[in-house]
Structure 1
Amino acid sequence: MNSWTVVAYWLYKILTFSNGNQINNFDYIESTTLKNTLPVSGTLPVTKRIPRVYCANFCIQRKQCQMFFHENVGMHCLLYDSLIWNETPTKVSNGFRAYRLLNDGRAKCRNNDVWNRDGNICFRQYNSSSMITSGEAKNRCNALQSDLLIIDTIQKKMFFENYYRGTNSLPALVGLSDKSFEGIWIWDNGVLFNYFHWGLFGVEFNGVDITRPGVFCLNADCGWIGVYKDIFMVWDNCCSKTSHWICAYSP
């Protein structure tokens, strides 16, 4: 081993055995569409001369890390705390391969569902060709051992903002309402809505919806999320009719 490999090896051993437990049984998969590319910003370099499996373990050790990039010739290792969406700016970087974590030693998301690792949820947006009620959307989530999406932390809010901006997804129903007490917005898990997470222009609960995407109604008691006029926001919309909703569950 040369000096770089020795340093990397012992750093890896210290990290993986620091609590007396070696992390194993995790999975990752190569994102072949990202061959020879890197994100323009946001990657964290680890060091040179690290085999790919060590790079994967560095990603596992960093709670926020969801992807890592590895270059075989120089064995460069870069960590990335998000996922690469359709609109994520990338640059050409020959020799790099991108790998997405599928789990971190626990159960993993179902096929085609998206993992927000730091938020500990898997999710998928569903669309219907016909209108259904919020109750029906909730039942469809329940049938998949899921619930309507809850965004009760700043991490989840930031993650879904990146998701929406990066995928151009349609506005969707989430697990938020003021059905029990008019004007008091509560997530379906009983947590009060936190206005601070969304900022000054990120919320519009006005009891009637004619300016936001969706179906007009005079009794708008259900929460929707989406990008409107370049602002990722939450607003009140109909509970009676929806064709887009997001189901989520813990892996």
Structure 2
Amino acid sequence: MSKKIADAFKNGKAFIPFITAGDPSLDKTKEFVLAMEKAGADLVEIGIPFSDPIAEGVVIQEADLRSLEAGTTTDGVFDMVAELREETDMPLVFMTYLNIVFYYGYEKFFSNCEKVGISGIIIPDMPYEEKGECEAIAAGHGVELVSMVAPTSEERIRMIASEARGFLYVVSSMGVTGVRAEIRTDLDSMLKAIRQATDLPAAIGFGINTPEQAKKMSGIADGVIVGSAIVKLVAKYGENAAPYIAEYVKSMKDAIR
């Protein structure tokens, strides 16, 4: 039985890395996820590649293209997660775009998520107002639809937070994913608005890449999400990236402990 999202936040601050499935291959993705767990990751976001990932910066866009060119399919990702489940019960969530889920078929997609023990899904291009389209189907299969909260009005933040499931993905900056030298958003105010609306854990993502940033963000949030910095290591070291990813994850986890 795989662990739930809430388990990732039980032992203090959670470190949540992201990886693009199938870059450079699905076998390697499996190896990288297990390496990240061993290095201290509390929950892993697995990206199902999409040809037009509008919320992503160039690093993850290129990873999606490499993965698709290598022949990665949604079925292939499900098979890889099923194999992962023979070796780990850690919480796993998918991050992908609505087109992928829609064309696969909501019922079939979330039924397969349940079979392989996917605890949640993040769909960056699905507006809060349209989440009803698949939320009930996802919930029926034990999959929590994780809401993203951007630096917008307090009223909207409270509205999204009050109905959130799993955890809240707090977007640190306007724009797309990617490494940032500095994060200027008033995250304290965002977190305050979230806390007034829900007891769910809130994790900050978009732009975080150094242990110093991770430590600072974990001071105000329940977890830290990192994607582009890890995907960059995969781009640089390819099939040999596992030890570099593990070393990086350990440094980030140590920083937020």
Q: Which TM-score tier does this pair reach, normalised by the shorter chain?
A: under 0.3
| Higher RCO (CA < 8 A, seq sep 6+) | 2
Structure with the larger strand share: 1
Larger Rg: 1 or 2? 1
